Amino acid sequence: MPTPLVGCIPIVCTPFRDDGALDLPGLRRQIDWLIAEGASGVAALAIASEGYKLTEAERDAVARETVAAAAGRVPVVLSADGAGVEPALDRARRAAALGADALMVLPPSFVKPDADGLLDYYGRIADAVPVPIVVQDAPQLTGVAMAPALWARLAAAHPGVRYLKIEGAPQGSTISAALAAAPGRLAVFCGWGGLSILDALERGAAGSMPAPNFTRLFAAIQTDWEAGDRSAAAARFAAELPFLLWTMQSIDHSVAAAKEDLRRRGLIASARQRGPAARLDDIARGQLARFLDARLG
């Protein structure tokens, strides 16, 4: 029986050297640090991992290194999706073979499928691999809307569909509706940087998938919440909220902030993002520096 996914599962940054090549030693250092910070799992090759900017060979290299670095200490979630069923199946099978404990799967977004198309896409992936599926609902990024009734049908027909990551708004009511539609079949994670974590936990979410540099915060919030100390959880969240809101202006803001934070900690050699990326302007870079100065001392 696979280890259930629960708690804080940060989205791992894919580090690059200044010449653009993968920084695999930096990836390993980052994962060791995330586990020390309280991560109960790690997720790689996701949107905020810049997974879509990697070659297929690089995806396999990152997957292999992530699994090796985690070394069974925590579950590894690898993103595996595609513009069609066949590319997604290929990625899913490779990720599972490389040791993923679960796969996170976005819907196709180039041609936006209807409900039947989504049932076919997710069902075929779930049936093709021996690990559970995390359905990633990110309508603001994909333009694909999914309903709780669809998730319930998937979970009933395909036991491998066990988790949801909710990114879209309103998160809270969507989480409640999803859990009500498939009681006992689905666990739900708070996405979009964890901005709705307190609401999500109150509604029964299993945890969060934040940026890596917020791992300690979200792990502590989860611990406080599970101990019944909601006021402590809220106080922790409020203390970091200005920086969290700043990072979540866009995916590129979040990745830039996380990578610079990790670079300053000596975990990765460079904060480089692969293109295309919306580079921070001088004012934004100054704002980020002030946040990190206050955070890191």
Domains contained in the chain, CATH given: 7-296 (3.20.20.70)
| pLDDT tens per residue, range 168-191 | 999 999 999 999 999 999 999 999
Read off the pLDDT of residues 185-222 as tens digits, 9 standing for 90 and up. 999 999 999 999 999 999 999 999 999 999 999 999 99
CB atoms within 10 A of CB 151: 27
Mean of the per-residue pLDDT values for the chain? 97
Evaluate whether 9 touches 254 at the Cβ level (below 8 Å).
no
How many Cβ atoms are within 10 Å of 289's Cβ, its own excluded?
Answer: 12
The full DSSP string for 95-150 is HHHTT-SEEEEPPP-SS---HHHHHHHHHHHHHHSSS-EEEEE-HHHH-----HHH
Residue 209 among known ligand-binding residues: yes
- Alpha-carbon distances, residue 32 vs 29, 95, 161, 296 (angstroms): 5, 21, 29, 19
Length reported for the chain: 297
Q: Is the pLDDT assigned to residue 43 strictly greater than 90?
A: yes
Residue 2 pLDDT exceeds 80: no
pLDDT of residue 1: 55
pLDDT at 28 over 90: yes
Beta-strand ranges (E) seen in 112-266 are 133-137, 161-166, 187-190, 207-208
pLDDT tens-place string over residues 229-249 = 999 999 999 999 999 999 999
pLDDT of 19 reads: 96
Check residue 162 and give its pLDDT.
98
In whole angstroms, what is the distance from residue 138 CA to residue 146 CA? 9
The pLDDT of 52-61, averaged and rounded, is 98
63: pLDDT strictly greater than 60: yes
